[in-house]
Structure 1
Amino acid sequence: MPVIPLFFAFLLTRGRITRSEWLTRVAIAALVCAAFGDLAGNAFADVGSGPFALLFIWSAIALATQRLHDIGRRGSALVFAIVPVIGPIWVVVQLLKRGAEHSNRFGADPASRADYLKVNIAE
């Protein structure tokens, strides 16, 4: 698979991702957006860093939506983050929950290892 579509695959809000994959992708998006935002900010002042801040917010919402899909919730549950104090805590707790162990309406279990040690002795 080419590198460019693979890099931008995290911007999709379909499917499910594990906790470790979610944390890794958010960290990478934060580092990339901060680095390029700093470069653009030095070159074009605040106007240059703004698009990278928006790109990070969009990618963080997309990744959080995929993570919520893993526990069986819709992405619209992120709206609870606007409730003062309790809302952000509830959203973080939901994002850090263990995912559903089998398929749900959002797709197959990304952590499933059903065929991991399957051996075909007929061959």
Structure 2
Amino acid sequence: MNWYLEALKKYAIFSGRSRRKEYWYFFLFNLIIHFILIIIDTLTGTYNQEAGMGLLSTIYFFAVLLPGIAVSVRRLHDTNRRGWWILLSLIPIIGAIVLLIFMVQDSTPGENRFGSNPKEAVSEP
């Protein structure tokens, strides 16, 4: 949960690097919260079947859109790629597959053009 909150705190910071752990925990908690909100929307009758969206889940989506883009850009920086690679997501299927491959890759060891390695900055027990 700390990684999710950390990404939210840096909601508009597009510089620097984010570890895989920060990115994937943010992704996981977003998915869980979104599904819970869809269930609540369905139970309260605010879910629109045709649109595939509900009131609460739509509000949440827009609330975490900017932090999601920011953590994705920082994750790309961690693999020594520019943030503009995020635009690959606009290409159906192929773009998502390529971005998935980029996001699961390990960090660039040491310092790269986007900053120091976040793995080295944080020592875990």
Relative to the length of structure 2, the TM-score reads 0.69
Kindly report the root-mean-square deviation, in angstroms, between the aligned alpha carbons of the 2 structures.
2.9
**Amino acid corresponding to residue 51 of structure 1 in structure 2:** I
Residue-by-residue CA offset, 1:91-116 (whole Å, 9 max, x unaligned)? 11111111111112221101126999
Once the two structures are superposed, the pairs formed by residues 44-123 of structure 1 within 5 Å of their partners are 45=46, 46-112=54-120
Using a 3 Å threshold, how does the CA distance of structure 1 residues 49 and 75 change in structure 2: closer, same or farther?
Answer: same
Identity rate, percent: 21
Q: Which residue of structure 2 aligns with residue 15 of structure 1?
A: 16
Structure 2 residues not aligned, in runs of 5+: 47-53
What SS does structure 2 have at the residue aligned with 1:111? Answer: helix
Corresponding residue pairs, total: 112
**Amino acid corresponding to residue 102 of structure 2 in structure 1:** Q
Residue-by-residue CA offset, 1:66-91 (whole Å, 9 max, x unaligned)? 11010111211111122233211111
Relative to the length of structure 1, the TM-score reads 0.70
Using a 3 Å threshold, how does the CA distance of structure 1 residues 83 and 108 change in structure 2: closer, same or farther?
Answer: same
* Higher gyration radius (CA): 1
Once the 2 structures are TM-superposed, how far is the Cα of residue 21 of structure 1 from its aligned partner?
Answer: 2.3
Return the alpha-carbon distance in structure 1 between the equivalents of residues 112 and 70 of structure 2: 19
**Amino acid corresponding to residue 21 of structure 1 in structure 2:** E
Return the alpha-carbon distance in structure 2 between the equivalents of residues 60 and 113 of structure 1: 22
Return the alpha-carbon distance in structure 2 between the equivalents of residues 10 and 25 of structure 1: 12
CA contact (8 A) 2:8 2:67 kept: no
CA contact (8 A) 2:19 2:78 kept: yes
Residue-by-residue CA offset, 1:48-75 (whole Å, 9 max, x unaligned)? 3311122344333222111101011121
